[in-house]
Chains A and B, each alone.
Chain A
């Protein structure tokens, strides 16, 4: 048992901290709210140079071949120092499933372009049901020589700047809604596609993407036809876990900022952190955040080792969803009225909690997955015949 970061991870954390502080302070985050693209291409280019796009892609595809845990620590820093942009969409939601499910030929064609920053990718999965249930996938792909896609995707991150999309579509209606789903590789700027930014509270460029008779060649499929739900299942583990890592970073920020404010802010001639009502709230925040951190790290370690991780990732995402929201609210309360203002950075984090909470499964979605795992398990005491 060893809970230390590796040397590589310490290096990633340090360089990410320095880079993000310099490149993306909160003024920049506020500017990008109003920006049409919602990210800074100059920063993006520097991230490419630092090797972040292909961090865990193998060298043959232009990556640096590092491990899943290494990507996790990077995302934690991106959550702590908010970095608006399509990194999560392109790298987590697209490059990881491509690496896992694409053919060699597809990998050779696509992955180097992601690694060298030439192309931005995003995933179009959610529809008007607003859920991650397979039955919500109704965008229709009809086989007429090529596939013809018709329907609408919602909350597609950074589709406004994407070059290509992974689209989760229904190719067949079967009894089990998880069957008959296929993942398509689609040119985001191709004919029949219209993209509109949805006005989210964080202005974080989540889009509606409409498909009107979009023609996709039969070869542009990721993984097996009708087995596309496997890709989503893959993302409910790896993607959800990396989203947790980002949220853990935000949680750390909320705790640190609330704690330092409690030391500075004087009332009744004392720092408010000396009052138990405030101090005990902060102490509970310590317990919640530290407990959560290892839940996330352990799940990541299991993924890294190739061990079963469905139970642990769902535990992590269910808990992180709850803790991030509570943490931001408590931090706001500790600040008093100033916590409610635009000028305090805390609001930038709070406004992002809902996007994170619903990304790749909300609390009840993942809690139910935990329940299913518990139902399947034999109790430990039965191992000695009890």
Chain B
């Protein structure tokens, strides 16, 4: 065994820290959660994406021919960890641009799609920003029951239906859409196709879904006779589900690293804060912070294990679910401990974080009010636990 990173990865860490020091004001912090929902952070994200593209980091995992660096999985892990620790916004190009839209187009897309979309994403330009249309009002955890319809008419598909919980749709130029192309096949997963949809198309309505804390992160997206060129079908008709599953593999490694980076930053902030306030001397506070530090160390090592398995050529099946459930647990625990530490000040509105009474730049409140949203993104804990049971322990399917 060897728990050390290579020289290349350590060098990348230092380069990223240099970049942060140069580009961001001291103490800068933002979280993925905030990016879509807060205009001033979104502006920073847009500007930062371009800078990341210039550094070659934005799509470092992609092969060189598509504007990437062919970075190793370990370099990608370091980048994910550092970017979220330092709160670098704009790393994803909307929801999925970098992580799955690009890689799926590389794997299944046409030459035309590759030529058009890959450089747009890799450049960090606003025209390379994507949202992902998977969930529907009646197809959440049971995603394969989606009913948004794409009907072929000559050189076009006509799309009708509704997507929901579509993060960043209001910020995006494109929608990565999964729709049903075959309603007759009793095997539901064999009737789904993937499309590139221009959000400027006629017939698309994006309606904000504002959360209880006033953040506009999610949207409903309505498709009313939206005409999409047949050339925008990605890969083969009715093969969308397997392409989608294949694409999930590309983001698997980043869950743990990104989660750990952000959690570690907040823990460091909480320790510093409680040392200064004297609360660190209270047995209950120091014991909870120590507990969190232990959980975070576990989380980090599991993230490394997932990457290690991938680096040996394995396709991790349950590990990403494991990493996500653990992150959800840590985030909830940390948010709760954070509010206990800030006490009455934790009630402040995170959307008014320039108040003189705001502590720790509002990050405890942001996490506390927004973490329930994280729990649902990409699969609920219950779904993830079923995946772990089924694939790690080979237990019978439970749903």
**Interface of A toward B, CB cutoff 8 Å:** 1-6, 69, 259, 262-263, 270-271, 273-276, 279-280, 282-284, 286-287, 290-292, 294-295, 297-298, 301-302, 312, 315, 318-319, 364, 367-368, 370-371, 374-375, 377, 379-381, 383-386
Contacts and interface: CB of A to CB of B under 8 A. Distances in A.
Contact of B395 (A274, A298, A312, A385): A274
Nearest to A258: B393
Interface string B257-300: 00000001100110110010000100000110111011101110
Given A318-B294, A364-B287, A375-B275, 4 more contacts: A3-B305, A270-B396, A379-B268, A384-B21
A377 B399 CA distance: 47
Contacts of A368: 286-287, 290
**Shortest Cβ-Cβ A-B pairs, 9 listed:** A291-B298, A294-B301, A283-B388, A379-B268, A279-B389, A274-B396, A371-B286, A370-B290, A283-B385
Q: Which of B5, B299, B301 has the most CB of A within 10 A?
A: B301
Contacts of B388: 283, 286-287
Nearest to B9: A1
A333 to B, nearest CB: 16
B389 A294 contact: no
Contacts of B398: 273-276, 279
27 contacts: A1-B4, A1-B308, A2-B2, A271-B396, A273-B393, A276-B398, A279-B386, A279-B390, A280-B386, A280-B389, A283-B384, A283-B386, A283-B392, A284-B325, A284-B385, A286-B322, A286-B388, A294-B302, A295-B298, A297-B3, A301-B1, A315-B294, A318-B294, A319-B294, A319-B298, A367-B294, A371-B290
B382 A276 contact: yes
B27 interface: yes
B248 interface: no
Contacts of B298: 291-292, 294-295, 319
Interface of B: 1-6, 17, 20-21, 26-27, 74, 85-86, 264-265, 268-269, 271-272, 275, 280, 286-287, 289-291, 293-295, 297-299, 301-302, 304-305, 307-308, 318, 322, 325-326, 382, 384-386, 388-390, 392-399
Contacts of A259: 393, 395
A381 B268 contact: yes
Contacts of A367: 287, 290-291, 294
B301 A291 contact: yes
A290 to B, nearest CB: 6
Contacts of B326: 287, 291
Contacts of A379: 268-269, 271-272
A264 to B, nearest CB: 11
Contacts of B384: 283
A1 B74 contact: yes
Contacts of A315: 293-294, 297
A270 B388 CA distance: 19
B71 to A, nearest CB: 15
Contacts of B272: 379
Contacts of B289: 371, 374
Contact of B1 (A69, A282, A286, A290): A69
A275 B297 CA distance: 31
Contacts of A291: 295, 298-299, 301-302, 326
Contacts of A301: 1-3
Given A370-B290, A380-B268, A2 B395 contact: no
A279 B393 CA distance: 9
A386 B1 contact: no
A291 B329 CA distance: 13
Q: Which of A291, A379, A383 has the most CB of B within 10 A?
A: A291
Given A274-B397, A291-B301, A2 B293 contact: no
Contacts of B325: 283-284, 287
A334 B338 CA distance: 34
B268 A2 contact: no
B395 A290 contact: no
Q: Which of A271, A287, A374 has the most CB of B within 10 A?
A: A287
B395 A1 contact: no
B280 A375 contact: yes
B284 to A, nearest CB: 11
B312 to A, nearest CB: 8
A5 B3 CA distance: 12
Contact of B297 (A6, A276, A295, A385): A295
A205 B398 CA distance: 45
Contacts of A263: 394-396
Given A287-B326, A297-B1, A380-B268, A374 B396 contact: no
Contacts of B302: 290-291, 294
A5 B2 CA distance: 10
A262 B389 CA distance: 11
Nearest to B297: A315
B293 A273 contact: no
A273 B392 contact: no
Contacts of A374: 271, 286, 289-290, 293
B305 A312 contact: no
B268 A280 contact: no
Contacts of A295: 294, 297-298, 301
A28 B331 CA distance: 46
B86 to A, nearest CB: 8
A380 B13 CA distance: 12
Nearest to B291: A367
Contacts of A282: 389, 393, 395
A302 B264 CA distance: 21
Q: Which of A5, A283, A301, A380 has the most CB of B within 10 A?
A: A283
A273 B390 CA distance: 10
Contacts of B395: 259, 262-263, 271, 273-274, 279, 282
B264 A380 contact: yes
A276 B390 CA distance: 11
A287 B384 CA distance: 11
A4 B1 contact: yes
